[in-house]
Amino acid sequence: MVRAAGLALHGPAHGPNPRVGCVIVGPDGTMLGEGWHRGAGTPHAEPAALADAAARGHDVSGATAYVTLEPCAHTGRTGPCTDALSRAGVGAVVYAVEDPNPQAAGGAQVLRSRGIEARHVPVAQARDVNRRWLGAVALGRPWVIAKWAQTLDGRTAAADGTSFWITGDEARAHAHGVRAEVDAILVGTGTVAADDPELSARPAHVEAPHQPLRAVMGRRDTSGARVWRDGNAVAIDSHDPHEALRVLAARDVRTVVVEGGGTVTTAFLRAGLVDELHAYIAPALLGSGTAAVGDLGIATMGGALRGRDVTATALGVDTLVTAFLQRGPQ
């Protein structure tokens, strides 16, 4: 299963579908075939692993399929994986995560009704591969990452509005990698007016990275800005973060990175709509300027929003701190 979770990571982190890996093992413990899902509209992990076994000339009857997510029982753009597994004569299926998507769930039951053993064995690695996707399905809205670059004293721009560049090359390269993993980037009109950002994903060493949808939230006219250079952008004429997420969900967005500025980030935090924090912290002090986060209506230490599963990563002279947030008030 750990091998299957590793294979799942080859699939794209963005897009409407989860990342899934599958390894088929014969009764004598031999690996017969393996595969992963390469994104919406392509074969799921189970048919990919069955095809791999066939290409290697292996018979999978009586074999066990280890798959990170419960096999689907429905016909979407591809046929039900339960059919592919039973047709191939697989004897048992072990899956690590139950499918939370009501349209696709019920696969284990279907397999059992056909005499195939189906066992749910939770494995942390398999769940972690899809943490954002599973979160989005459970919450019924896009998963929200709030990202910013700040000085040690918590400033995201100087008093004159400049914010280029707070952090160094390595931190900025990392942020480009995150952009390539999400479905959308959202900023406020204030950031567009101040910085005229491109909001594209430009990770080093990736030739044609996935480009997320660019979303701008606010009422003022920003036409002519670089974010509007092609059709891969959406204007959200609202100050309501819930409305922004509804607009993005309607565009099939599962994961969005909110890149500021402070006004928009604060609005999402106040609404309890931030699931994950990414703070790139530079060893610099400004003393004045824009605060990374504004008033959250928290007056006492006990009310502090606290992260969990925290990581701290050195990126050149900067440090990236990531954390997951408990779901706050809606």
Ligand X SMILES: NC(=O)c1ccc[n+]([C@@H]2O[C@H](COP(=O)([O-])OP(=O)(O)OC[C@H]3O[C@@H](n4cnc5c(N)ncnc54)[C@H](OP(=O)(O)O)[C@@H]3O)[C@@H](O)[C@H]2O)c1
Smallest distance from the beta carbon of 86 to ligand X, in angstroms? 51
Among 15, 47, 212, 260, the residue binding ligand X under the rule CB under 6 A is 260
- Do 170 and 200 touch, CB atoms closer than 8 A? no
Show the binding pattern over residues 301-320: x = contacts ligand X (CB under 6 A), - = does not: --------------------
State the catalytic residues.
46
For the chain, what is the largest distance between any 2 Cα atoms, rounded to a whole number of angstroms? 70
Residue 6 structure tokens:
């590793």
Question: How many Cα atoms within 13 Å fall on the side-chain side of residue 230?
Answer: 7
Strand order in the sheet with 213-217: 233-236, 213-217, 184-188, 255-258, 143-151, 276-282, 318-325, 307-315
The answer to whether 259 contacts ligand X (rule: CB under 6 A) is yes
The count of other CB atoms within 10 Å of the CB of residue 169 is: 12
State yes or no: residue 188 binds ligand X (CB under 6 A).
yes
239 contributes a contact to ligand X by CB under 6 A: yes
Ramachandran angles phi, psi of 55, nearest 5°: -65, -30
User: Binding ligand X by CB under 6 A: which of 191, 199, 253, 320?
Assistant: 191
Should residue 267 be labelled a site residue for ligand X when binding is judged by CB under 6 A? yes
* Binds ligand X (CB under 6 A): choice among 261, 276, 293, 322: 261
Distances in whole angstroms, Cα of residue 30 to Cα of each of 7, 85, 213, 253: 17, 18, 43, 40
Residue 110 vs 149, nearer CB to ligand X = 149
Which residues inside 197-236 make contact with ligand X, applying CB under 6 A? 217-220
Q: Count Cα atoms within 13 angstroms, Cβ side, for 81.
A: 32
157 lines the binding site for ligand X (CB under 6 A): yes
**Of the two residues 38 and 239, which places its CB atom closer to ligand X in the complex?**
239
What are the percentages of helix, strand and coil residues in the chain, rounded to 5? 30, 25, 45
| Binding of ligand X by 263 (CB under 6 A) | yes
Determine the interface stretch with ligand X among 109-117, 199-207, 255-263, 321-329 (rule: CB under 6 A): 255-263
What does the binding site for ligand X look like in residue numbers (CB under 6 A)?
148-149, 156-157, 161, 163, 166, 187-191, 194-195, 217-220, 239, 259-264, 267, 290
